[in-house]
């Protein structure tokens, strides 16, 4: 069995490279995000009132198996310029140097370090979140449902924007633009 | 001082509504123009917050004021000519309409801009429409045009009060002042 696997490895590596995947086959499954049914949304507060927005473009590299959490990993690259808060003025502010400075740091990165199961169908991912030039550890609890080759994950995590330097100078003041931002992910992925 | 108005004099509630709202309208109007000229920054956002909160206060008060007004008698207009009395009625109607239209267009344009309205940070109003950039720009223009109507009508209202007081020497202004109920 071991012999056979070793023999097959180069073949698998080529096959997965052709298919656009990086690395050889792992025990945990590779998943492909269904972009149209997946969203990265956030809720911020401005002038004391909550508003919603989303990042419309992101790439996710997902390797996940409930029975191999140690071998699971998720890396998401978020295109900051794809922000949409249904307000053109605000969107152009968000990418400006005072906020995300998308010209200098065009992507935010979410890279998991470990997963743990907290209840059936409920997990927690400990991950490094990088926004601008700041990396901080965050814990994202999420619900996961796998049916056949389709998976749906949903989770929310609240971060403080000022921890990441989002809001420079006068915008470090959080009285008008709130510090807490809740990020909500809704991911639908297929196992090819 | 009597609480309710009569056919000849204004009551305490109506006078209070009048002066509190006069102060509010002048404040919201001034803040509106001031904040518009500020560069984007904390200060601008702070003034926008105040403008929205006070504007919604005007809306709440004008609703109560109209309910109160229709439930009590109103003193007659004192103009000598019928055209004057008609003009006074039209002017007052216009002021009432604007006290509704200004906050409502403001609230709707905030909704269209996906900038929900918080009232003094105590609670957030629901969005009246879904985010829509085009609608926002239209409403912003309407809100701005109506602000000129407010300036115009309040100006006429003020001048008319002075004209009644100094020219006609009637009780129009005196009877709205706080204090003793002025019969006439």
Q: What is the complex's ipTM, to 2 decimals?
A: 0.76
* Cβ-Cβ contacts under 8 Å for B184 (sequence gap 6 or more): B8, B9, B78, B170, B171, B175
- Whole-angstrom Cα distance, residue B108 to residue B117? 9
Q: What is the pLDDT of residues A66-96, one digit of tens each?
A: 999 999 999 999 999 999 999 998 999 999 9
| Alpha helices (runs of H) in B120-184, residue ranges in sequence order | 133-162
- The DSSP element (H or E) to which A144 belongs, if any, is strand A134-147
CA B142 to chain A, closest CA, distance in angstroms equals 19
Structure tokens that stand for A46 in this block: 């401005």
HSE of A105, CA atoms in CB hemisphere, 13 A: 20
> Measuring CA to CA, how many Å separate A186 from each of A50, A143, A155, B16?
20, 10, 7, 53
Is residue A1 pLDDT above 70, yes or no? no
Among B42, B52, B135, the strongest candidate for a mutation testing the A interface, having the largest count of A CBs within 10 A, is B42
CB contact under 8 A, B114 and A170: no
Q: Is B16 on the interface with A (CB under 8 A)?
A: no
Q: Which residues pair with A77 in a beta bridge?
A: A59, A109
User: Which A residues 49-68 touch B at CB under 8 Å?
Assistant: 49-53
CB A140 within 8 A of CB A114: no
Domains, in order of start, for chain B: 12-176 (1.20.950)
Q: What is the pLDDT of residues B112-128, one digit of tens each?
A: 999 999 999 899 999 99
DSSP string, A78-139: EEGGGEE-S-HHHHHHHTSTTTT-TTT--EEEEEEEEEEEEETTEEEEEEEEEETTEEEEEE
Q: What is the pLDDT of residues B7-17, one digit of tens each?
A: 888 889 999 99
* B79 confidence band (pLDDT: 50, 70, 90): confident
- Whole-angstrom Cα distance, residue A96 to residue A80? 10
* A172 confidence band (pLDDT: 50, 70, 90): very high
- Structure confidence at residue A116 (pLDDT): 96
CB-closest option in B42, B49, B131 to A170: B42
CB-closest option in A48, A51, A87 to B49: A48
Phi, psi of A115 (to 5 degrees): -125, 150
Q: What is the pLDDT of residues B31-51, one digit of tens each?
A: 999 999 999 989 999 999 999
* Cβ-Cβ contacts under 8 Å for A150 (sequence gap 6 or more): A188, A189, A190, A191
CB contact under 8 A, A87 and B133: yes
Q: Is A169 on the interface with B (CB under 8 A)?
A: no
Instruction: Give, as one character, the DSSP assignment of residue A40.
Output: E
Q: What is the pLDDT of residues B138-174, one digit of tens each?
A: 999 999 999 999 999 999 999 999 999 899 888 888 8
Q: Is B137 on the interface with A (CB under 8 A)?
A: no
Is residue A11 pLDDT above 90, yes or no? no
> Which sequence spans correspond to the domains of chain A?
28-190
Domain A28-190, CATH homologous superfamily name and number: Lipid/polyisoprenoid-binding, YceI-like (2.40.128.110)
Q: Is A92 on the interface with B (CB under 8 A)?
A: no
Q: Is B6 on the interface with A (CB under 8 A)?
A: no
- Structure confidence at residue A115 (pLDDT): 96
- Whole-angstrom Cα distance, residue B122 to residue A95? 30
Please state the rounded mean pLDDT for residues B67-74.
Answer: 92
* A17 confidence band (pLDDT: 50, 70, 90): very low
User: What percent of chain B has pLDDT above 70?
Assistant: 97
């Amino acid at each position: 069995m071991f012999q056979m696997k070793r023999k097959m490895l180069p073949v698998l590596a080529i096959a997965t490279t052709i298919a656009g995947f990086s690395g050889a086959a792992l025990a945990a499954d590779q998943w492909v995000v269904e972009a149209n049914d997946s969203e990265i949304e956030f809720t911020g507060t401005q002038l004391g009132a909550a508003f919603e927005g989303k990042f419309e473009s992101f790439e996710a590299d997902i390797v996940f198996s409930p029975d191999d959490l140690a071998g699971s990993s998720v890396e998401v690259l978020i295109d900051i310029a794809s922000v949409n808060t249904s307000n053109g003025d605000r969107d152009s502010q968000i990418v400006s140097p005072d906020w995300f400075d998308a010209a200098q740091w065009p992507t935010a990165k979410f890279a998991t370090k470990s997963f743990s199961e907290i209840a059936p169908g409920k997990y927690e991912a400990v991950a490094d979140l990088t926004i601008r030039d700041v990396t901080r550890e965050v814990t994202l609890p999420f619900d996961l449902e796998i049916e056949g080759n389709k998976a749906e994950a949903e989770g929310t995590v609240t971060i403080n924007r000022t921890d990441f330097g989002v809001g420079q100078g006068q915008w470090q003041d959080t009285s008008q633009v709130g510090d807490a931002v809740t990020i909500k992910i809704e991911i639908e992925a297929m196992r090819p | 001082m009597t609480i309710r108005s009569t056919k000849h004099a204004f009551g305490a509630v109506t006078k209070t509504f009048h002066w509190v709202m006069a102060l509010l309208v002048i404040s919201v109007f001034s803040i509106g123009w001031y904040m518009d000229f500020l560069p984007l920054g904390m200060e601008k956002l702070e003034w926008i917050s105040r403008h929205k909160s006070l504007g919604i206060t005007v809306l709440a008060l004008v609703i109560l004021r109209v309910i109160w007004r229709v439930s009590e008698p109103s003193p007659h207009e004192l103009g000598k000519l019928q055209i004057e009395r008609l003009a006074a009625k039209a002017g007052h109607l216009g002021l009432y309409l604007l006290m509704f239209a200004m906050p409502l267009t403001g609230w709707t344009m905030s909704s269209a801009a996906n900038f929900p309205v918080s009232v003094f940070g105590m609670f957030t109003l629901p969005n009246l429409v879904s985010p829509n950039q085009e609608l926002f720009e239209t409403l912003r223009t309407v809100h701005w045009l109506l602000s000129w109507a407010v300036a115009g009508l309040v100006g006429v209202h003020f001048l008319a009060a002075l004209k009644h007081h100094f020219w006609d020497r009637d009780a129009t202004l005196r009877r709205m002042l706080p204090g003793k109920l002025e019969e006439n």
